[in-house]
């Protein structure tokens, strides 16, 4: 098969084109950060799949979409058509990958922070940018809006999870005891004076007491992000380690930037961030990035 003249080889290097097992066929991986996609874009993807692919799509485990069965000589035309409609191509290889997140506070009743909004910001800031290219290995980020951690931030190289620190306005408490039975951590017991007592060492900052309180006596003292570092799956899975609690949302991008700088400097080629962190030591990593 001859190389089509129109193919942009530098574009191929940026990733997002996955060679299939079958000769001359590729899958086009789309960049759909936080899995949010418009119905119009879905229509366009369907159209491109029918026109240039085999009419089949793959929903990836990272909230992405891949158009399968595109022949080598059609890739560029398919790409152009997708990009014209505002659809972008995803990544593979040692790069900052498309960020994943849950719908977050705007949609989910459990959400404590706008994880999807932050995910889009993270993606826009680091994907395909100098800071997110030429890394030792792939770099995955996931952002969860609450302590349920549906997008699995601890299984990513870097993860954020929303958290909330509760405070009791005693005058508003009518001693109903709902917080005591709602707290899944056993961190709240009703005291003899009828007011709840919170054991901070057991509290995981989930905010269930705030959300369930019928009289709004539990209120948020601060809202922030728990940061996890060095998680991965694959052959040797390891959960990410807690890097920090209550990172202010406005500092969220800065911390990722510091971690990427650290990883570029200390990570050996082919080494996931978790391995680098284990080698250097978490305390030293904290000293360097926080």
Contacts with another protein by CB under 8 A lie at 109, 174, 176-178, 181-182, 208, 211-212, 214-216
Q: To the nearest whole angstrom, how small is the minimum distance from the Cβ of residue 181 to another protein?
A: 5
Q: To the nearest whole angstrom, how small is the minimum distance from the Cβ of residue 172 to another protein?
A: 12
Q: Which is nearer to another protein, 138 or 198 (CB)?
A: 198
Q: Which is nearer to another protein, 181 or 290 (CB)?
A: 181
Phi first, then psi: what are they for 232, rounded to 5°?
A: -165, 165
Q: Which is nearer to another protein, 89 or 173 (CB)?
A: 173
Beta-bridge partner residues of 219:
167
Asked if residues 276 and 240 have their Cβ atoms less than 8 Å apart, the reply is: no
Q: To the nearest whole angstrom, how small is the minimum distance from the Cβ of residue 222 to another protein?
A: 21
Q: What is the DSSP letter of 268?
A: P
Q: To the nearest whole angstrom, how small is the minimum distance from the Cβ of residue 218 to another protein?
A: 11
> Which structure tokens are listed for 217?
């006596």
Q: What is the DSSP letter of 207?
A: -
Written in H, E and C, the secondary structure of 114-178 is CHHHHHHHHHHHHCCCHHHCCCCCCECEEEECCCCCCCCHHHCCEEEEEEEEEEECHHHCCCCCH
Q: To the nearest whole angstrom, how small is the minimum distance from the Cβ of residue 207 to another protein?
A: 11
Phi first, then psi: what are they for 11, rounded to 5°?
A: -65, -35
Tell me how far apart the alpha carbons of residues 225 and 287 are, in angstroms, rounded to a whole number.
19
Q: Which is nearer to another protein, 55 or 177 (CB)?
A: 177
User: In this structure, is the dihedral angle defined by the CA atoms of residues 274, 275, 276 and 282, taken in order, positive or negative?
Assistant: positive
Asked if residues 70 and 78 have their Cβ atoms less than 8 Å apart, the reply is: yes
Q: Which is nearer to another protein, 66 or 208 (CB)?
A: 208
Tell me how far apart the alpha carbons of residues 267 and 231 are, in angstroms, rounded to a whole number.
15
Q: Which is nearer to another protein, 210 or 227 (CB)?
A: 210
Kindly tell me the number of DSSP H helices and DSSP E strands found in the chain. Answer: 9, 12
Q: Which is nearer to another protein, 54 or 212 (CB)?
A: 212
């Amino acid at each position: 098969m001859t190389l089509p003249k129109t193919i942009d080889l530098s574009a191929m290097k940026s990733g997002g084109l996955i060679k299939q097992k079958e000769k001359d066929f590729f899958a086009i991986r789309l960049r759909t950060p936080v899995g949010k996609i418009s119905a119009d874009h879905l229509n366009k993807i369907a159209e491109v799949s029918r026109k240039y692919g085999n009419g089949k799509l793959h929903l990836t485990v990272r909230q992405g979409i891949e158009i399968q069965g595109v022949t080598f000589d059609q890739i560029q035309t398919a790409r152009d058509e997708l990009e014209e409609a505002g659809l972008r191509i995803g990544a593979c290889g040692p790069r900052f990958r498309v960020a994943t997140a849950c719908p977050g506070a705007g949609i989910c009743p459990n959400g404590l922070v706008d994880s999807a909004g932050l995910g889009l910001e993270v993606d826009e800031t680091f994907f395909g940018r100098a800071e997110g290219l030429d890394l030792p290995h792939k770099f995955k980020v996931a952002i969860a809006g609450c302590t349920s951690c549906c997008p699995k931030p601890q299984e990513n190289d870097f993860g954020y999870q929303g958290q909330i620190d509760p405070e009791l306005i005693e005058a508003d408490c009518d001693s109903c005891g709902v917080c005591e039975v709602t707290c899944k951590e056993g961190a709240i017991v009703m005291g003899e004076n009828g007011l709840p007592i919170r054991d901070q060492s057991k509290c995981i900052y989930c905010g269930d007491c705030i959300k369930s309180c019928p009289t709004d006596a539990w209120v948020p003292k601060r809202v922030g992000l728990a940061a996890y570092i060095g998680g991965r799956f694959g052959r040797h899975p390891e959960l990410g380690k807690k890097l920090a609690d209550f990172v202010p949302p406005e500092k969220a991008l800065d911390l990722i930037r510091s971690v990427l700088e650290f990883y570029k400097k200390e990570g050996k080629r082919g080494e996931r961030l978790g391995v680098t962190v284990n080698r250097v030591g978490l305390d030293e990593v904290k000293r360097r990035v926080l």
